[in-house]
Amino acid sequence: MNDDAYEGARLDKDDVVLKTTGLEKAFGGLVATDDVSIEVDRGTITGMIGPNGAGKSTLFNLISGFYENDAGHVTVNGEEVTDLEPHERARKGLVRTFQTPRRLEGMSVREAMLVGPGPQKGESVFSLFFSGSDVTEEERANIEQTRELLERFEIGHLIDQPSTDLSGGQMKLVELARAFTTDPDILLLDEPVAGVNPTLANDIKRFIRELNEEGQTFLIIEHDMPFIMDLADPIIVLDQGKVLMEGSPDEVRSDDRVIEAYLGGAGP
């Protein structure tokens, strides 16, 4: 595909939560992210698709600060976060999940969930000794929130299970629930239904939609086309590290360049 075909994303949105400008990342000679500028509007579920190796996860890693970018900027709610550490970006409201489920060895589901809210008073050794009752109060509230959220996601019965004993789909659900407890401004989900059975995938779709209706903004990478086409609007298409186009599910579905990118693979 020639370079003119890369139309780029829409950059004229009203209420931008997340914005990248000219992000670049190369691994040796391989340019994984090539001048990526995108905007995510508050309150949307924005999808991100693209063939294998298009650079979607790399872009997430750049946005969330896990990779250092070669050039470009990231802003959250208009605030520059390009030089911040991953945990500082998370505190600014930018929270991501990972493509492969993260296993918390030796933790129950309840514990794994309780890592989410933050910063907690009980995370300071000093408070543990000098304001124990505040810690108790906050911990109680968090336990209660965990219980409600798991019940809402219909996995309340798993609360005592070892978090490593869950099915892939249940793990994804716990990750989604936990990420939500951080009270993020935007949630970045990397393939939330990869390897999840269709029933559970449908549940996950329903929960994401519910959270979105309550105001949660999402940016979601997903290979499962019916899933993402049904859930997200707009959808950003990435190919060979560049933004190919952005549009509604229908526009994306009928775009020749998108079809070519998927059929042509990495070819010219």
Partner 1 sequence: MSAVSSWVSETLVRDATERRIFAVLGLITVLLVAGVFAGVIGPRFLLFQIALVGMYALLSLGLNVQWGYAGLINFSVAAFWGIGAYCAALLTAPNSPLGLGLHPVFGFLAAIVVSALIAVLIGIPTLRLREDYLAIASLGLAEVIRAIILNERRWTAGSSGISGIPNLMSWLPLTDAATTAAIVVVLIAVVYLFLRRVHRSPWGRVLRTIRSDEDLAKALGKDTYRFKMQAFVIGSVIMAVAGAFYAHLNLYIDPSDLVPLTTFYIWIAVILGGTGSNRGAVVGAAVVIAIREGTRFLNDIGFIQTLGIDLAPLRLLFVGGLIILIMRFRQDGLLPPKDELIWPAARDGSRSGGASPSSAAPDGGTAPNGGDDR
Ligand X SMILES: Nc1ncnc2c1ncn2[C@@H]1O[C@H](COP(=O)(O)OP(=O)(O)OP(=O)(O)O)[C@@H](O)[C@H]1O
The one segment of 26-34, 107-115, 133-141, 195-203 that binds ligand X by CB under 6 A: 26-34
CA-to-CA distance for 15 and 21, rounded, in angstroms? Answer: 16
Residues between 131 and 150 that touch partner 1 (CB under 8 A): 132, 135-137, 139-140, 143-144, 147
The one segment of 7-15, 28-36, 178-186, 252-260 that binds partner 1 by CB under 8 A: 178-186
Comparison of 25 and 178: residue with beta carbon closer to ligand X? 25
Instruction: Tell me how many helices (H) and strands (E) the chain has.
Output: 10, 10
The DSSP annotation for 202-248 comes to HHHHHHHHHHHHTT-EEEEE-S-HHHHHHH-BSEEEEETTEEEEEE-
Does residue 84 bind partner 1 (CB under 8 A)? no
At position 140, the amino acid (one-letter code) is R
At position 31, the amino acid (one-letter code) is V
Does residue 52 bind ligand X (CB under 6 A)? yes
Does residue 33 bind Mg ion (CB under 5 A)? no
Residues between 58 and 117 that touch Mg ion (CB under 5 A): 99
Does residue 50 bind ligand X (CB under 6 A)? yes
Sheet bearing 16-27, strands edge to edge: 30-41, 16-27, 71-76, 79-80
The one segment of 27-35, 107-115, 199-207, 217-225 that binds partner 1 by CB under 8 A: 107-115
Residues between 9 and 68 that touch partner 1 (CB under 8 A): 64, 66
Please answer whether residues 143 and 110 qualify as being in contact, where contact means their C-beta atoms are separated by less than 8 angstroms: yes
Map tokens 């945990």 to a residue.
Answer: 87
CA-to-CA distance for 258 and 38, rounded, in angstroms? Answer: 17
Residue choice 27, 103, 165, 195 for contact with ligand X (CB under 6 A): 27
Q: How far is the CB of 108 from partner 1 (least distance, A)?
A: 5
At position 28, the amino acid (one-letter code) is G
Does residue 56 bind ligand X (CB under 6 A)? yes
Please answer whether residues 239 and 266 qualify as being in contact, where contact means their C-beta atoms are separated by less than 8 angstroms: no
Q: Classify 109 as helix, strand or coil.
A: helix
| Contact residues: ligand X, CB under 6 A | 27, 30, 32, 50, 52-58, 99
Which residue ranges make up the site for Mg ion (CB under 5 A)? Answer: 57, 99
Q: Where does this chain bind partner 1 (CB under 8 A)? A: 64, 66, 85-87, 90-91, 95-98, 102-108, 110-111, 114-116, 118-125, 128-129, 132, 135-137, 139-140, 143-144, 147, 156-157, 159-160, 178-179, 182
